[in-house]
Amino acid sequence: MSRILIANGHLIDPANDIDKTADLAIADGRILACGEIPADFHAEQTIDARDQIVCPGLIDLAARLREPGAEHKGSIASETRAAAAAGITTLCVPPDTDPIIDNPAVSELIHQKAEAAGFARVVTLGALTQQLNGEQLAEMVKLQQDGGCVGISNARRPVKNNLIMRRAMEYAASCGLTVFLHADDPGLSGQGCVHEGGISTRLGLPGIPESAETVAVARELMLIEQTGVRAHFCQISCAHSVQMIARAQHDGLPVSMDVAAHQLHLTDMDVGYFNSQCHLLPPLRSQRDRDALRNGLGNRNISAICSDHQPHDADAKLAPFAETEAGISALETLLPLSLRLVDDGVLSLSEMIATLTIEPARILGLPSGQLGVGGCADICIFDPLQHWTVEPEKFISNGKNSAFGGWELKGRVTHTMLNGRLVYPY
């Protein structure tokens, strides 16, 4: 592998408490030196990162790549290519692919295709139950040992039987696996498509009450306390959910939570007059909920920001609102939307970078997310001051579905490195 010198960059590595202007030397896919470069180091390539931020490659906790099963919406190659342009070097894929990741072969297929594409590292979550049907436990040990799954989840498919969920948590705890939970009570959420409140009433759309999430959070917390399993709550959207999980953290339960970037900027008011780009699950909540999510980030109860990337074909958003498919193409807006939180005073720049690097790495149990000497050279270099206008039709991702079309954002990735190899610009 080539020897690369990243010169004059502003290095920010929250994991190692680095925040300074310094050079970074890379050799054989690993970080050779940070700051004082050895006299005998001769770079084959030099990247001038003056006036730019150099940080660990971003880690996205939730990205659906659509392959296998929905290749008309996207592929592992197309979406990891978009990830590279967004500074993302590691993507975590939920198990609700087709076929479902309930056996090691599916996980291995995804890993092989990602490696063949070569743009980003992809890790997988195995299924909690077979076929995600909530009835029979999946073979978690095989998924972990043979499939390389870093955790387990039932995605957004409900496990209605409390005993089955308890047994699943006990099994996961015995394997040392983290359970990734999407808190939703299907009986309460029903066929809802927006947050239950004034907007849903005005538009005549079926609403999803806050209790659909909070009731599920309460159940999971009770079972986590009983089983001792390590658990992570995915894409939390409600103020009361943050409050309950923060209390559990204070009491010593091994729980963490993340939030999708769009939930930190949009509310149910953005649905406007049936804007299907704002059809999301969990739905956009009230301004009070959005502010609570921001506060949860600021006080470190919410430890990570994810994209919750769900690319769709154009037709998926063209039906009447309730009949459109939920989701947003979000890889390419993850970093700039997170940077906006710095301008809004929610997080410092170093804290923001931590939510996209070392914190998701800890949740997934990965050694990445840092710039320590000897570590893997997964690196993102971005210009924090470059302004640009979101034009979804120009996304590199196959999914052009975004609620941020026309927004002016700040922050643009200039270089992305994976294992010491430049993957962007292509």
The whole-angstrom separation of Cα 31 and Cα 356 is: 20
**Mapping DSSP to helix (H, G, I), strand (E, B) and coil, where does residue 411 land?**
strand
Nearest to 215 by CA among 195, 235, 191, 240: 240
Contact 10, 21 (CB under 8 A): yes
Dihedrals φ, ψ of 67, to 5°? -120, 130
Residues pairing with 131 in the sheet: none
Distances (CA, A) of 373 to 8, 13, 29, 58, 368: 18, 12, 11, 18, 12
Q: Tokens representing 194?
A: 């927006």
What's the DSSP call for residue 346? S
The whole-angstrom separation of Cα 290 and Cα 165 is: 29
| Catalytic member of 308, 313, 315, 383 | 308
**Torsion angle defined by CA atoms of residues 99, 102, 108 and 112, in that order, rounded to the nearest 10 degrees:** 40
Return the half-sphere exposure (C-beta side, CA atoms, 13 A cut-off) of residue 42.
1
**Mapping DSSP to helix (H, G, I), strand (E, B) and coil, where does residue 71 land?**
coil
The whole-angstrom separation of Cα 107 and Cα 93 is: 10
Dihedrals φ, ψ of 348, to 5°? -80, 165
The whole-angstrom separation of Cα 33 and Cα 24 is: 6
Dihedral sign of CA atoms 9, 15, 16, 20 in order: positive
CB-count burial class (<10 Å; 0-12, 13-18, 19+) for 414: middle
- Tell me if residue 308 is catalytic: yes
The whole-angstrom separation of Cα 177 and Cα 230 is: 7
Residues with a known catalytic role: 308
